[in-house]
Amino acid sequence: MFDSVFTHLCQPQKRLFVKKVLDLVILRGLELRKPYDISNVGLPIPKHFRLEREECHLGILIMIQGVFDDIGRTSHQDDLRLMSLEEAVKLIQVHERARQGRVRAQLMLQIRRKAEKSLKPSSVAKQTSEEKAVLRIQAVWRSFKVRKLVKDLRDSEMIFLGMKLIEDYDLIWTWKAEKILVERDSLQKGEAVRSQEASALTYEKIINYEEQKMKEYYEDRLRNYFLKYL
């Protein structure tokens, strides 16, 4: 719950307060689960911890890469051929089309088997025309539902791969929600930077305005101490 609140807040002071509460909750959870093994603790890593450690993690990777460069070695990832975005999209599209074809073939086979089974005459008694009509309608309706489900799944996958434009109302709002999340993350980073700059500026102002007063105050305290006790 606190992790979700921290994720949605944009005001730096409120985020700092929620972060402290979240850290205390996690520490309390670790205290309660102290007798358990580390693999059984099962505490999720908060999002704010991953974001804070992202720059540190990147710095460690850069340092390791620098060490490899100094000793004349490269990381294992350099030996791998990097795939361009176009090649990756084409590869995903080919495999996705093949998978969709297999799924469609399997579903159509199941539909044909169900239709054949539903249209077989009963050996117990002769079916009336009304019963035959009901069975035929059920078979057609089931096949229609399956075809619609396959079409919806195919459209969603094609939209995800960028092979089809978003036309559905719900998918449009999903795309808008994702866009809002990206804008929120950008706003949070901007607010954090502005808060740090404001804190540094306030600190400098306090030092400039109060430095002389604080210096005189402590000089008087020291002078009185030496006169009184020495």
Provide the residue type at 72 as one letter. Answer: G
Q: Are residues 184 and 208 in the same domain?
A: yes
Q: Are residues 149 and 170 in the same domain?
A: no
Q: Are residues 50 and 96 in the same domain?
A: no
> For the chain, which ranges sit under pLDDT 70?
1-3, 33-44, 72-81, 119-128, 162-172, 230
Q: Residue 165: its pLDDT value, please? A: 61
The answer for 45, left when phi > 0, alpha when psi is -120 to 50, beta otherwise, is: beta
Of 129, 149, 164, the domain-final residue: 164
Widest Cα–Cα separation across the chain: 122
Determine the distance from the C-alpha atom of residue 50 to the mean position of all C-alpha atoms in its chain, rounded to a whole number. Answer: 11
How many structural domains are present in the chain?
3
- The H-assigned helical ranges of the chain are 2-8, 12-32, 38-41, 47-70, 85-119, 129-160, 169-229
Q: Are residues 115 and 154 in the same domain?
A: yes
Q: Cα separation of 204 and 8, whole Å?
A: 31
Q: Residue 38: its pLDDT value, please? A: 60
Q: Residue 166: its pLDDT value, please? A: 58
Q: Are residues 149 and 190 in the same domain?
A: no
Q: Are residues 50 and 101 in the same domain?
A: no
Q: Are residues 74 and 6 in the same domain?
A: yes
Provide the residue type at 89 as one letter. Answer: V
Tokens encoding 75: 């990381």
Confirm whether pTM is higher than 0.75: no
Q: Are residues 118 and 73 in the same domain?
A: no
Domain with 146, as residue range(s), is 85-164
Burial of 96 (0-12, 13-18, 19+ CB in 10 A): middle
